Amino acid sequence: MQKFGHGTAVGQNIEFIKFALDQGVLRFGHFVTKSGRESPYFFNAGLFNDGAALLQLCSFYADAIESAGMRFDMLYGPAYKGIALAAGTAIEFARRGRNLPFAFNRKEAKDHGEGGALIGAPLAGQVLIIDDVMTAGTSVRESVQIIRAAGAQPAGVVIALDRMEVGQGSLSAVQEAQRDYGLQVVAVANLDDLLAWLALAPGTADLLEQTRAYRARYGIRT
């Protein structure tokens, strides 16, 4: 099949867009982002909030990872949304025949019991970071520091949706992570995939025009 977006096939990307819409995770309307921009769409991965949705979501993550040919030894989920994503993706890989260790962090280190800031398997080898979105890159920066401090190496980052828009400068958070850490960043779908779905779906001409205008104003150069 033809490839589109970040390493996954066109049909799979479109299926993820449809899935996110069905779950109410992806919505159209008038939204103001954290950066103060007026966006015609909004993506809230926290609304993948039941077992069936998480199972399907982590299947999309595993597909994206396999399609991108990422090499890694274990999974790491930054708190808080990354916790369920890393655990769910590990379960999905086990279902596919690959048993992977996983770990996640606490927001605050525990000073009793087992102590420390990490829960799960010891960080070792090539560690793949699993998160929902990448906005300012803070979560990735903290994750890289935690992984390296444990003597392991970050293997890459996987996110659900890449909005493909610039931050304060001319680069997006994804591009900055690629530049600053040399990491491969894979998204299950991105803004181009959303535009492709809008171009195919009936009755979405106005939304397509609005989203294209947003892309033209804030999108990264590719």
Beta strands in 114-152 (DSSP E): 116-120, 126-130
Residue in 104, 48, 54 with CA at minimum distance from that of residue 75: 104
For 130, the 3-state DSSP assignment is strand
34 belongs to the catalytic site: no
30 belongs to the catalytic site: no
CA 160 to each of CA 25, 36, 50: distance values in angstroms, whole numbers, following the listed order: 11, 22, 17
From 3, 18, 30, 110, the catalytic residue: 110
**Cα–Cα–Cα angle for 38, 57, 43, rounded to 5 degrees:** 5
CA distance 100 to 51: 20
Residue in 136, 121, 127, 139 with CA at minimum distance from that of residue 82: 139
CA distance 142 to 149: 11
Please list the active-site residues. Answer: 110, 112
